[in-house]
């Protein structure tokens, strides 16, 4: 910071504020690992997100100040300031990535809440549900009901298809049975006709 003071008091002040926020973010994420309650985790993430937003704003101011001083600084000083800015951005981005990971984990836990009751997690589920807004709960509930309705409709269709196949099979068997009966009757008739013809031939031969 002392080096920056020689270049610009504004840069030195911004550098101090940004460093303070980055330290606070590092400590905040370390504490987040120890928090088990979903509500407290969510609140801590919100606070860290506000800090990241403020840090981003200060880095932009730092960048604007660098550009304002470009005409007065030599090439080496400009390079040093830009490297410092890039280092700030890189560190902030690492916290942004951490925040995304924690947010995803929280959302996955909230979805697990609706996957069905499991032994020993009822209390945790209550905490997770309370961390969601009423609208989120309603939307998720409606989505689950829609999926249930679709599953029921698929089951009904499967049952109906099975009944239809059974009906078609029964009808085919009935038709085949009737056809066999007709064939048997026709064979009986042919047999009777042949027997009758044979008798006639014998009678003609006797005459």
Tens of pLDDT, residues 158-169: 767 766 776 777
In a domain, 23, yes or no: yes
In a domain, 19, yes or no: yes
| Rounded distance between C-alpha atoms, residue 114 and residue 130, angstroms | 13
Residue 127: what pLDDT?
A: 44
Count of domains forming the chain: 1
In a domain, 204, yes or no: no
Residue 90: give the domain boundaries.
2-132
Mean pLDDT, rounded, of the chain: 77
In a domain, 171, yes or no: no
In a domain, 206, yes or no: no
In a domain, 64, yes or no: yes
Tens of pLDDT, residues 44-91: 888 999 999 999 999 999 999 888 888 788 888 888 889 999 999 999
The pTM of the full predicted model, rounded to 2 decimals, is 0.49
- Residue 49 makes CB contacts below 8 A (sequence gap 6+) with 99
In a domain, 142, yes or no: no
In a domain, 162, yes or no: no
Percent of the residues in the chain that have a pLDDT greater than 90, as a whole number: 22
| Rounded distance between C-alpha atoms, residue 183 and residue 20, angstroms | 100
Task: Find how far residue 116's CA is from the centre of its chain.
Answer: 16
Q: What is the CATH number of the domain that holds 63?
A: 1.20.58
Tokens of 1: 């910071």
Is 69 exposed, middle or buried, given 0-12, 13-18 or 19+ CB atoms closer than 10 A? middle
């Amino acid at each position: 910071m002392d080096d920056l003071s020689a270049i610009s008091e504004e840069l030195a002040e911004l550098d101090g504020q940004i460093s303070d926020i980055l330290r606070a973010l590092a400590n905040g994420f370390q504490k987040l690992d120890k928090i088990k309650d979903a509500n407290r985790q969510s609140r801590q993430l919100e606070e860290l997100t506000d800090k990241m937003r403020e840090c981003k704003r200060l880095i932009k101011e730092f960048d604007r100040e660098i550009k304002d001083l470009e005409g007065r600084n030599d090439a080496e000083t400009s390079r040093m300031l830009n490297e410092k800015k890039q280092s700030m951005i890189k560190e902030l981005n690492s916290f942004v990535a951490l925040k995304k990971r924690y947010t995803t984990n929280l959302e996955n836990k909230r979805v697990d809440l609706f996957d069905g009751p499991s032994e020993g997690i009822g209390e945790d589920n209550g905490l997770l549900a309370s961390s969601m807004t009423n609208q989120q709960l309603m939307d998720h509930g409606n989505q689950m009901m829609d999926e249930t309705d679709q599953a029921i409709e698929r089951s009904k269709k499967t049952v109906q298809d099975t009944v239809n196949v059974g009906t078609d099979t029964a009808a085919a068997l009935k038709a085949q049975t009737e056809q066999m009966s007709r064939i048997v009757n026709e064979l009986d008739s042919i047999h009777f006709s042949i027997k009758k013809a044979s008798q006639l031939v014998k009678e003609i031969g006797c005459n």
